[in-house]
Amino acid sequence: MNKSQLMFGRKKGNAFGVIIIVFLAIVIISLINNNQKNNTALVKSELNIPAAVGYVNDFAGVISAEKKNNLNFYLKELDKKTGAEIAVVTVASLKDNAIENVSLEIGRKWGVGKKGKDNGVVILVATGDKKMRIEVGYGLEGIIPDGKAGRIRDDYMIPFFKQGDMEKGIVNGTMAVASVIAKSYRVEMPADFNSSVADLAAYSSSAPQTSSGKSSPLDILIFLIFIILFIILPRRGLFIGGYTNYGGGFGGSSGGFSGFGGGSFGGGGSSGSW
């Protein structure tokens, strides 16, 4: 085989690889668009989402007034110092909606996170359905990727939910998420916040591991794309950047709540059940 034939073969192989990538990209975009349209329509037709009453919205009535005030105080401090917003939501039932649909709609309707920064998180727990989700806004997906959200779920929340201690699981999970954000922004939080987070870290090192999360078809498709890219582009220096991970009591009342800042969400995060 001469040099021109080799070059033609390489060009043909590269062109085939590009075609595969373009095709898969079109499929993914179509799936995302259809999924978001269907999700929004489903939730709006069956679930009436009330207005937010604070950073903590305990519609299921499983968090004591003291812990609710504590969380509201810390989440307000986090908001003031970083601009990131966390909405904690409990409901008794999802009314046959997928929890991913409901958390996404809550985040969008309430505008959790700052407009243009999309640095919000929705922690949704459906007590009667035994399901939960950590929904992460676009702007925080770099510091709370799906895998980290899943570890917070498995280490700090679901073990307590299985024991029937809803309040402790919600408080621990919220504090863990807040700690990740505070460390990423390099801000000082109150001393009792830090001591509570230290207790969480000690618990995490000895906690039993769970595997309640499930991979979606979209996750599998994205994984296959990376495999294909690795095969067809072995010498092109294709690098995929990683995330920086950080590890994951209480003060006074939160004061007034003026609403969230207009953030948006794209479906990142992690779900689980118990």
Judge residue 206's burial from the number of C-beta atoms within 10 Å of its C-beta, 0-12 exposed, 13-18 middle, 19 or more buried. exposed
- pTM here? 0.67
Sheet strands (E) in 92-224: 120-126, 131-137
- Domain 56-205 classified CATH 3.10.310.50? yes
Sequence ranges of the domains in the chain: 56-205
Q: Which of these, 152, 118, 157, 162, lies nearest to 136 by C-alpha position?
A: 118
Average pLDDT over residues 204-231: 54
Torsion of CA 139, 140, 142, 145, to 10 degrees: -130
Question: Three-class SS of residue 273?
Answer: strand
Tell me: the pLDDT tens digits for 90-125?
999 999 999 999 999 999 999 999 999 999 999 999
Tell me: the pLDDT tens digits for 227-259?
665 555 544 433 333 322 323 333 344 456 889
Answer yes or no: are the C-beta atoms of 117 and 108 closer than 8 Å: no
Tell me: the pLDDT tens digits for 31-75?
655 655 444 444 444 568 889 999 999 999 999 999 999 999 999
228/21 Cα distance (integer angstroms) = 8
What local confidence, expressed as pLDDT, does residue 249 receive? 34
